[in-house]
A = this chain, B = another copy of it.
Amino acid sequence: MSRKVTIHDIARELNTTVSTVSRALNDHPAISTNTKTLVRDMAKKLNYSQNRLASSLRSGKTYNIGILIPSAELHFFGSVVHGIEKVLNENGYNILLYQSGEQYNQEVKGVQTFLQSQVDGIIASIAFETKNFDHFLEIKKQNKPLVFFDRSNSELKVPSVTIDDYKGGYIATEHLIKQGYRRIAHISAKQRIKIFEDRLRGYKDALKAYGIAVNEDLIAYGDVSLESGKECTALLLSKKPDAIFAVEDFTALGALQKLKESGVDVPGKIGIIGFANESFSQYVTPSLSTIEQQTIKMGEEAARLFLELADKEKRYASAPNTIVLDPILLARESSRRKKA
């Protein structure tokens, strides 16, 4: 194996010094165009490739940024990562990826690894399990850009991009009301997670706003899964709901399947709406009404927040910039009531 070619080699060939070569390669203004072309041609000729480790070690900038997600297996996160990478890449940054698997310990390890790798910033979505936030505070302490997406924590005063889950719950419920449904049930989540609680609040407030009393009997608490959707629906059936707003699409799908098994007409007898617009939602029968979360946009906005933060000197001095994306109602067949 031939030794790696460095700027020293280029300098030697050209009878100049490494500083000139370095500057030429970095398009420094104080270098003559002639020297630049000379250096670049020689670099190409020698098949030179910069060692970013050395460059970063010296300059203090890596142009790497860490992305911490619960799991790449979930389409939601893959989609957000896609959006982030696209924007960041256009701005010369590269991505280090770490999965927490929803585990606190893994999340901490991820942050430490990123910090040791001297990333220029971190974009993260907090694991369900996480109750202690010292690892995130450490990032702030090092004055490195930190941005949260989807799962944030307002006490940390960190920029974030989330969607308005409250509004999502509200418009989902409102849509059902406008379709003429009145006994609207909600399948929520047992876990005390902010996004689920917000959707629940939105549900309740929409009912109130339209003069419908909130009936706790019509609220079931599942564990965010298709199976749980089926079980909760079975329980709810005795309460005679005429519509179900499920906390997310898998739960909604479970509800849909249970109703079909029970011979209940959807949306004629009971309407259904979910949340998240999973990839299957538009393809099931009847197609599932749901709330779109704008995942790619979320990623793009998170990346922009990062870039903004990276430019600022006093990063965490003022109140953090928090972007709240609007949820979008996708009214499909499962909640479209036939004209009475």
Within 8 Å by CB of A99, from B1, B77, B86, B142, lies B86
Which of A50, A57, A62, A260 has the most CB atoms of chain B within a 10 A radius of its CB?
A: A57
User: A326 on the interface (CB 8 Å rule)?
Assistant: no
The stretch among A111-119, A124-132, A158-166, A174-182 that forms the contact with chain B is A111-119
Give the residues in chain B near A296, CB-CB below 8 Å: 73
- Interface segment, one of A20-28, A231-239, A277-285: A277-285
Given contacts A72-B85, A116-B50, A278-B279, contact A94 B99 (CB under 8 A): no
Q: Which of A57-79 contact B (CB under 8 A)?
A: 57, 62, 64, 67, 71-75, 77-79
A275 within 8 A of B: no
Docked Cα-Cα span, A17 to B128, in Å, equals 43
Given A78-B72, A117-B52: A97 and B99 interface contact (C-beta under 8 Å): no
Q: A113-B94, A116-B51 are in contact. Are A82 and B57 (CB under 8 A)?
A: no
Asked if A81 CB lies within 8 Å of chain B CBs, one says yes
Task: Kindly state whether residue A122 has any CB partner on chain B within 8 Å.
Answer: no
How many angstroms from the CA of A81 to the CA of B73 in the assembled complex?
A: 8
Q: Which residues of B contact A54 (CB under 8 A)?
A: 57
Asked whether any CB of chain B lies closer than 8 Å to the CB of A95, the reply is yes
Distance of A340 from chain B, by nearest CB (Å)? 26
A206 at the interface (CB under 8 A from B): no
Contact partner, A78, options B78, B98, B113, B115, Cβ 8 Å: B78
**Chain B residues near A39 (CB-CB < 8 A):** none
Main secondary structure of the interface of A (DSSP, over half): mixed
Among B51, B62, B96, B115, contact of A94 (Cβ-Cβ < 8 Å): B96
B residues less than 8 Å from A99 (CB atoms):
82, 85-86, 89
Alpha-carbon distance A260/B112, docked complex (angstroms): 54
Chain A contact residues (Cβ within 8 angstroms of B): what range?
35 or more
With CB as the reference atom, state the residue of chain B lying closest to A86: B99
Which residue of B49, B56, B95, B260 is within 8 Å of A53 (Cβ)? B56
Q: In the complex, what residue of chain B is closest to A54 when comparing beta carbons?
A: B57
CB distance from A83 to the nearest CB of B (A): 8
- Across the interface, which residues of B come within 8 angstroms of A283, CB to CB? 253, 280, 283-284
Write out the residue numbers on chain B whose beta carbons fall within 8 Å of the beta carbon of A112: 49
CB distance from A298 to the nearest CB of B (A): 13
A143 on interface, CB distance cutoff 8 Å: yes
A280 — which chain B residues lie within 8 A by C-beta? 278-281, 283-284
The answer on a CB contact under 8 Å between A82 and B75 is no
Residues in B with CB closer than 8 Å to A113 are 94
Nearest B residue to A278 via CB reads B279
Is A118 a contact partner of B285 (Cβ separation < 8 A)?
no
Interchain residue pairs with CB less than 8 A apart (24): A49-B116, A50-B116, A52-B116, A53-B62, A64-B117, A67-B97, A71-B82, A72-B81, A72-B82, A73-B78, A75-B75, A78-B78, A78-B81, A81-B97, A85-B98, A85-B99, A89-B98, A94-B98, A94-B113, A96-B96, A279-B279, A280-B281, A280-B284, A283-B283
Which 6 residue pairs of A and B lie closest in terms of their CB atoms, listed nearest first? A280-B280, A78-B78, A285-B285, A73-B82, A72-B82, A53-B57
